[in-house]
Amino acid sequence: MDLTVKASGDGDAASGTEMVGAEPSSCSSTYEWAARALARMDDPVSDLPPTARRVLAGALRVVVTKGFAKLTLASISTASAENVAAVKYYFGNKAGLVRVMVDVVVYEEIKLLVSPPGKRPEADGLSRLVQDTFILSEPGKPSRVLFELVPHALRDKKLRQRLQDYYETFYELHLEQLGAGEGGDAELRSRLGGLAILLGAVSDGLTMQALVAPEHFDMMTALRALDALFAGGIPALVGSEANES
């Protein structure tokens, strides 16, 4: 089962704004981080038997095409051509199935960063950090599933924890992109931690706006503004302690 959507950006040497005080976000470091993350994760689909895969695929189709409100045992059965009892047999209940769906979204979003993306001319000139943000902001099946599930997660403690883990995974990616990856300088990680959180919010916000108004939303204008903010903002964050003294 592959939810991967095509994304783009410059796949070669880093271009655009250099990040003063932190290493420039690089294409190779993002791919390497994503590859390491995938190596530590279990593919949520690989060990499932064929029937369970069909149930999961059917549930994902229902959420993407009809929304979470339409995700019932009956709709899952229809979409997967499997008996309703298969949900309970393989996933315990619908909530268990939904948690696996979140795992699939996380896994597929990280996969977006592993294979070098093709070039998109209008992305040229943006810093590597912003190009990576673009890749994660492109609307596609993983993001649609995630946004459909979020309201449900707010009322489900286990699912909420799954989503918390999801965001913390991507906070660590953003720190890696900013040159403050795991095991790096603790002070630098502390100073850039808030920016890593904001990058997650920016990516989600851009995706949501693109999903709401795909004909009118100008992703590139927003990304160029973000690039300009980073050009001054990152050096200011990195040098904040020096400025205070």
Looking at residue 19, its pLDDT comes to: 40
Q: 0.75 cut: is pTM over it? A: no
How far does the chain reach from its first CA to its final CA, in angstroms?
Answer: 54
DSSP secondary-structure letter at 22? Answer: S
Looking at residue 154, its pLDDT comes to: 80
DSSP secondary-structure letter at 115? Answer: S
DSSP three-state, residue 118: strand
- The gap from C-alpha 60 to its chain's centroid, in whole angstroms, comes to 17
Which amino acid makes up residue 114? V
Looking at residue 22, its pLDDT comes to: 41
Q: Which residue ranges of the chain lie beneath pLDDT 70?
A: 1-29, 115-124, 240-245
Pick the CATH number of 27-239 from 3.30.360.10, 1.20.1630.10, 1.20.58.2050, 1.10.357.10: 1.10.357.10
Looking at residue 123, its pLDDT comes to: 56
Which two structure tokens, joined as six digits, stand for 163? 């989503």
Looking at residue 205, its pLDDT comes to: 93
Can you spell out the DSSP letters for 160-187? HHHHHHHHHHHHHHHHHHTT--TTS-HH
Looking at residue 115, its pLDDT comes to: 62
